[in-house]
Amino acid sequence: MRNLIQTEIQKLASLLQQIQQDNALLSVIETIADQCTQALKRGNKIFFAGNGGSAADSQHLAAELVSRLNYNRPGLAAIALTTDTSALTAIGNDYAFENIFSRQVESLGQAGDVLIGISTSGKSPNILRALEAARGRQMKTVGMSGMHAPLLAERCDWVVNIPSRETPKIQECHIMFGHIICALIEDAMFGAEYDPRRQARAEVA
């Protein structure tokens, strides 16, 4: 058991070290956070969608924005398209499972909103259709995937490619980057007002 524990920790540590040195990927994270911040400042919304573990990540990240991550501050407009079981089952039953997210995007999305589609394989049909629907509504599109995801990339303005083929490791990095993006959004929108340390520095300056 101990060997398995150590092996999994070492795999993640090596992957994180590789990511930490990938300036292009880190620049994409900065851009995504900035685009989400600008959207929220305009009064737009951030949508999340994913399947399985990625559905849980979608709900997790939406909750970080609606509730809070680091600051006690006003809520931010974020929606996980994975939570409304009546809508999901109705759309899946009346149309097809591939449409469970795209139909919601068509109903709720507006120009300037952001859709973050999470798919470790980069091939999930319902995520691809949701991204297509988002583009049709002049929304910004973000994909989070694994090492190679051309189908996802061609439907997205920005893609976060995790350099791994192991689903658990990809998901672990997705939630890390999701937290970082949420933290950057919070800091950009509320840091000076709600962080006592920043307030103290501002008063001294």
Q: Which parts are annotated binding residues for substrate?
A: 51-53, 64, 93-94, 119-121, 124, 171
What's the gap between Cα 27 and its chain centre?
15
Looking up tokens 């398209």 gives 81
Angle (CA) 99 103 160, round 5°? 75
Instruction: List, as residue ranges, the binding site for Zn(2+).
Output: 60, 64, 171, 179
Instruction: List, as residue ranges, the binding site.
Output: 51-53, 60, 64, 93-94, 119-121, 124, 171, 179
Residues 6+ apart with CB under 8 A from 180: 29, 33
62, 82 Cβ separation under 8 angstroms = no
How many CA atoms within 13 Å lie on the side-chain side of 12? 14
